[in-house]
Amino acid sequence: MAQNIVILTGAGASAESGISTFRDAGGLWERHRFEDLASPEGFARDPVLVHRFYNQRRAQLRAVSPNAGHEALAVLEQNWRGGFLLVTQNVDDLHERAGSRRLVHMHGELRKLRCAACNAVHEWQDDAGTDTACPACTRVGAMRPDIVWFGEMPYHMGEISAALAQADVFCAIGTSGVVYPAAGFAAEAKRNRRGCILYEVNPQPAAHDLFDHAIAAPATLGVPELLRQLGIK
């Protein structure tokens, strides 16, 4: 019988592409705490600063490329016979650029802006600011990064929960497992009635023993090894 797989990726999946992870970097950007840059309160306090932070990260996407880990996940998707869902906490577009198609961005995307007035979401490649007008409702000053900030509800939770309930295999790749709800996905998959097998790819494996198989390697080596262990060439 075909098996269903759910993959969860975090900042570690993009680390070798040159995008620094959050907690490894000490959680600071230009001496600002990450919480001040990634929260509705921080945006209300200083929207210019927050736009600058995300403009810089959006611009950085042009300078980086998918790595062998992203590419291996696209190969896995193409060769997997059962249900497949890639859930990423990353806001970059490296999975798409590597060829992944069945993926959801639970924390939003750098290359999208959302209008806080009319809720329309727009693809966005360039800088944004407090003087940016919404292309839909024309309101100026209501555009924000389409990023799920601290205290906000992650996207696609219904689809993710449904996939976890049916998962036979779950893999966590490059995520520290400290930010909920994603941190609870491994346990949620383990609790389903399908005897889900759990894999982890991380150079610093989790301290708990929830995972059945830990591949202690960076994503560029660890994801190809994961494919070998799953029997995908």
Catalytic site residue from 95, 107, 208, 213: 107
Q: What are the DSSP calls for 97-142, one per residue?
A: HHT--SEEETTEEEEEEEETTT--EEE--S---TTPBPTTT--BS-
Nearer to ligand APR, 3 or 60 (CB): 60
Q: List the one residue from 109, 202, 211, 226 that touches ligand APR (CB under 6 A).
A: 202
Q: Which of 63, 74, 79 is nearest to 97 (CA)?
A: 74
Piece of the chain touching ligand APR by CB under 6 A; list 14-22, 42-50, 132-140, 157-165? 14-22
Binding mask 90-119 for ligand APR (x = CB under 6 A): -----------------x------------
Nearer to ligand APR, 4 or 175 (CB): 175
Q: Which of 101, 86, 223 is nearest to 164 (CA)?
A: 86
- Enumerate residues 6+ apart whose C-beta is below 8 A from 111: 58, 61, 93, 123, 124, 125
Nearer to ligand APR, 132 or 175 (CB): 175
List Cα–Cα distances, 32 to 36, 40, 230, in angstroms: 7, 15, 42
List Cα–Cα distances, 225 to 14, 51, 171, in angstroms: 17, 39, 12
23 forms part of the interface with ligand APR (CB under 6 A): yes
Is 107 known to be catalytic? yes
CA distance 203 to 12: 9
Smallest separation, CB 208 to ligand APR (Å): 13
Q: List the one residue from 4, 17, 132, 176 that touches ligand APR (CB under 6 A).
A: 176
- 220 three-state secondary structure: helix
22 forms part of the interface with ligand APR (CB under 6 A): yes
Q: List the one residue from 42, 66, 145, 218 that touches ligand APR (CB under 6 A).
A: 218
Which residues does the annotation mark as catalytic?
107
Contacting positions for ligand APR (CB under 6 A): 10-12, 15-16, 21-24, 89, 107, 174-176, 178-179, 202-204, 218-219
